[in-house]
Structure 1
Amino acid sequence: MVKAYTQEYIYKHPWERVTSASYRKFTDHENRHILTHILEVDTLSCKVDPISKKLYTARAVTVHFPGPWFIRKIVGQDVCHCIETTIVDAKTRSMQLTSRNVSLQKFIEVEEKIQYEPHPDNPKIWTTCRQETNIHIKPLPALASIAEKAEQRYAEKVVKYSATGREVMERICIYLEAESAQIGL
């Protein structure tokens, strides 16, 4: 059974600032103590399509496996490797991130999609963030009865980490706002 969880958030910052903050979220050193579940982030590719002018980025993200302790015990590891792909279309002012785990797929599949777009009511200064997370824990025969509870616990962790990520994004947006004010943008 696949569980889908959707969250929506409004950043009271322009789209350009929010998308810049998204790229910096994992790389700013001061965020390491907040995003403790992120162990490592490496950029695999970054290119601009010459025809569409869209920016395509792929990053490898290693995270502390946020699943319930008993699932970590069964799978025998507490880290998970993920691939995050990003498409930025500056012309339409749209940014979509998709993250999927590439390890532990025998036990769990997680896909997270985040879409950033200008807010329809205030497009110049607000940005809408829609996040959808799909979780599918593949139960072992002995665990079939608790797979749903495990998915729920995993979802609770996702919600917690999402809130922490938004907090970091807000802080970076404020920093970027102050930085642009200093140089007169």
Structure 2
Amino acid sequence: MKLFKSIHEYNYQWDLVSAANWQKYPNENCPHVQHVDVLNRTVDPETGILTTERLITVEQSAPRFILKLLGGDTTQYVREISTIDPRQKVLSMESINLTMSNFLSVHETIKYEQHPEDNNRTQFSQQAAITAGSALSRWGSMLEDFSLKRFTENASIGREGFVQVLERFVVLAEAKEAATAPSS
């Protein structure tokens, strides 16, 4: 098993970050994400916690020989379950790959929280456990290393893309505010 962990701070309020999260895809930095479909969404009437289950379709550019060897395809599916707690100001997301998970499992956990010292910033933490299946015992460590390297690269690119989404959100919010402001 290989582990990935990253902590980052966004210079945006949690409310903006949690709203922008729903507009993260598509974005030009993550063209591998093809579709995001909402499977289920509920709100707990007592806590106000929103729970969403999504199916994410990605196009992976894995080496052809690996796909041929494993009998896979470039189209992959990921199940994501997220919760938004508006009272605690925490957005948590857990995802796991559904496709070829018997060969390689990637379990990712993401959390966006209001920064404890500055309400105008958001703390972001991301971790992933990457595990090759027992059928690949000889090659498992190599596949985990390759996948960890790729995951690390994609995580960095994903953060850059999300910053662009956040910047667009700010511009739209400012334009909306200017349009609704009373003229003097």
Normalising by structure 2, report the TM-score.
Answer: 0.88
Corresponding residue number in structure 2 for 1:93: 89
**1:46 partner amino acid:** R
**Structure 2 contact 97–107 (Cα < 8 Å) conserved:** yes
Count residues in correspondence. 177
**Structure 1 contact 68–154 (Cα < 8 Å) conserved:** no
1:150 Cα deviation after fit: 1.2
**2:12 partner amino acid:** H
**Structure 1 contact 6–130 (Cα < 8 Å) conserved:** yes
CA–CA separation in structure 2 for the residues paired with 1:184 and 1:103: 44
2:40 maps to which of 41, 45, 67 = 45
1:127 maps to which of 113, 122, 131 = 122
Q: Give structure 2 stretches of 5+ with no counterpart.
A: 179-184
Corresponding residue number in structure 1 for 2:10: 11
1:68 Cα deviation after fit: 5.1
Q: Secondary structure at the match of 1:51?
A: coil
Q: Secondary structure at the match of 1:26?
A: coil
Corresponding residue number in structure 1 for 2:167: 174
CA–CA separation in structure 1 for the residues paired with 2:134 and 2:145: 14
1:121 Cα deviation after fit: 2.3
**Structure 2 contact 95–107 (Cα < 8 Å) conserved:** yes
Corresponding residue number in structure 2 for 1:80: 76
**Structure 2 contact 10–123 (Cα < 8 Å) conserved:** yes
**Structure 2 contact 29–160 (Cα < 8 Å) conserved:** no
The range that moved more, 36-45 or 84-93, is 36-45
Corresponding residue number in structure 2 for 1:103: 99
Q: Secondary structure at the match of 1:184?
A: helix
CA–CA separation in structure 1 for the residues paired with 2:133 and 2:42: 35
Corresponding residue number in structure 2 for 1:144: 137
1:157 is the counterpart of 2:153? no
User: Any idea what the Cα deviations from partners look like across 1:31-77, whole Å, max 9, x if unmatched?
Assistant: 1x421211221111122111221001111011123655543222222
1:129 Cα deviation after fit: 0.5
1:114 is the counterpart of 2:107? no
Runs of 4+ in 1 over 6 A off after TM superposition: none
**Structure 1 contact 66–157 (Cα < 8 Å) conserved:** no
CA–CA separation in structure 2 for the residues paired with 1:4 and 1:147: 14
CA–CA separation in structure 2 for the residues paired with 1:182 and 1:168: 21
Q: Secondary structure at the match of 1:34?
A: coil
Measured on the aligned residues, the alpha-carbon RMSD in Å equals 1.8
